[in-house]
Amino acid sequence: MFHEIVLAGETYAYETSTTKKQAEKIWLEAPRKTYVFEEDGKILGTYYLKTNQAGPGSHVCNCGYMVSSQARGKGLATSMCEHSQKMALELGYKAMQFNFVASSNEGAVRLWCKLGFETVGRLPNAFNHPIRGFVDALVMYKWLQT
């Protein structure tokens, strides 16, 4: 799943040449938590949760989500994002930030908005899309504590 999504180069800021070992480090070892969503023993989706900035920024977490191409359109990203917000609060975070959302990834932007995230930043031409070329990247943010 990681390989499929990263190879497309349209959504995640990882090298398309990322090896399995590097992917394990990025997705499983470096984050604070990683979850998978299974059905009949098959992994349909996964997300990680980690502290976004250390020290004075450590009350804000960051998540990344991946849905297998076979499992799209079933609301899995919504479920994972809602689950992650709940877990973030349980772990003591006050806010969640997505650092680098390709503005061309319109489905994701729409979904995060619907789930309460705001676009708080726009990085001009910061994402090099394989087809569209340089597009803006968005910073999205949600204060979780009420």
Residues that bind a second copy (CB under 8 A): 6, 9-10, 12-16, 18, 53-60, 94-95, 97, 99-100, 102, 120-130, 137, 139, 141, 143
Q: Which is nearer to a second copy, 71 or 126 (CB)?
A: 126
Shortest distance (Å) from residue 141 CB to a second copy: 6
Minimum distance from residue 117 beta carbon to a second copy (Å): 12
CA distance 26 to 48: 9
The nearer residue to a second copy, 84 or 103, going by C-beta atoms, is 103
Smallest gap from residue 55 Cβ to a second copy (A): 5
- Indicate the pairing of strand 60-67 with strand 95-102: parallel
The 3-state DSSP class for residue 7 equals helix
Smallest separation (angstroms) from a second copy to the CB of 144:
11
Query: How many other C-beta atoms can be found within 10 angstroms of the C-beta atom of residue 92?
Result: 10
Residue with smaller CB distance to a second copy, 35 or 100: 100
Q: How many residues does the chain have?
A: 146
Is there a contact between 117 and 140 (Cβ–Cβ < 8 Å)? yes
DSSP label at 16? T
